Structure 1
Amino acid sequence: MSTHPSTRTRKPLSAAMCLIALSGLPVLGCSQSEAATSRGAPEAAPAAPPQGGKSKVEDAVYTLEMKPTGTYKAGQEGLVEVSLLSKGDYHINDKYPIKFKVTEAAAEGVSYPKPLLKREDGMFEESKGLLKVPFVAAKKGKTKVAGVLSFSICSAANCLMQKQELEAIVDVQ
């Protein structure tokens, strides 16, 4: 068999090559629906500054929110809720390792009994999910609870892998 380029048969591009193509490097023969991507749908706006203590991210394919859940007392464990809701033809990827990692530089006087929460720490269904993030605030007043949620949301055509910063302002009594 000849090794001359014009007589070799062309092989389809692998998924890895598709990912390279989607990253902006020039590779031909790959479409966006052939590979998982963190783009593909309109990009989510950054988490809005907390209003009423919560931050919310609205996207064409999901809504993500972090909010206080009740009253908080200094020195006692409290919880904030992180909720994820898929929209339209999208669903929460049941194979992706969802995790919430608290912000490395925690607000002064705030500690986290569990700084890394995983899928099994929450409740996740096809179109909605919920994580309860425990924290302890040492002193009274308003303080920030923050972290990054890593998740994947999919349609029949593609999967989007996301990392979204979230924060909630809580009023500690």
Structure 2
Amino acid sequence: MIHAPSLRASLPSSPSRASRAALTALSALALTGALAGCTASEAATPPPGSDVQAAPAAAKGPKVDSETYTIEMKPTGKYKAGQEGSVEVTLVPKAPYHINDKYPIKFKPTEPAPDGIKYPKAVLKKEDGTVDDKKALFKVPFVVSKAGPTKVSGTLYMSVCSEANCIMDKQELEASVDVE
């Protein structure tokens, strides 16, 4: 059980709704951090539905560049209709951050897939990629049934940590590919 005596001491004897919500959010953050492999002193992105707000996610695109990490989805070669190809998804933390080795990092292609695209794997887990403390790389396989420009997309679920805090995040990515 998590106790916050200094916080409780500062609350009025009959706490307001906002005070109770703040205490609940702090407890949820501590529990979320513990489940993700962070210590109790590390901060984490709050769970959905809590009163504490995370930074807004960047717009869907091929690259996300935040203060703590860079994520990129890029084409890896030529693509032919009916043949399997792949795009690379990379996560590179910025100093002093590193990839949280206790977090179940994964990439989920968009579901349902747009017409004409099939993803052979519904989820790429840590063991499907190359992950160390400085970089994560996933090769996302796909098959496009017809020639022309198309978009490959999905969501990367990840966590980066520093000595001061851990950040859990998910980012939607989308890359354009030309299929012959």
The TM-score with structure 2 as length reference comes to: 0.73
* Post-superposition offset of 1:37: 1.5
Using the TM superposition, name which of 97-106 and 127-136 deviates more: 97-106
1:26 maps to 22
Paired residues for 1:75-86 under 5 Å: 75-86=82-93
Q: Which deviates more, 99-108 or 138-147?
A: 99-108
Partner deviation per Cα, 1:75-122 (whole Å, 9 max, x = no partner): 000000000000011000011101111111212100011121000000
2:127 alignment partner, SS class: helix
Instruction: Confirm or deny: 8 A CA contact 2:60 2:172 kept in the other structure.
Output: no
Q: Secondary structure at the match of 1:80?
A: strand
Quick one: structure 1 residues 92 and 44, their matched pair in 2 at CA, closer, same or farther if it must change by over 3 Å?
farther
The match for 1:164 is 171
User: Paired residue for 2:66, among 59, 62, 70?
Assistant: 59
Structure ranking higher in helix proportion: 2
Distance 2:56 2:66 in 1: 5
User: What's the Cα RMSD here?
Assistant: 2.6
Letter in 2 for 1:152: S
The question of whether the paired residues in 1 share the 8 Å contact of 2:130 and 2:136 is answered with: yes
Poorly superposed stretches of 4+, deviation over 4 Å: 30-33
Task: Give the percent of matched residue pairs that are identical in Structure 1 and Structure 2.
Answer: 54
Task: Report how far residue 34 of structure 1 moved.
Answer: 2.7
**Number of residue equivalences:** 147
> Which runs of no fewer than 5 residues in structure 1 stay unpaired?
1-10, 15-23, 50-54
If the length of structure 1 is used for normalisation, what is the TM-score? 0.76
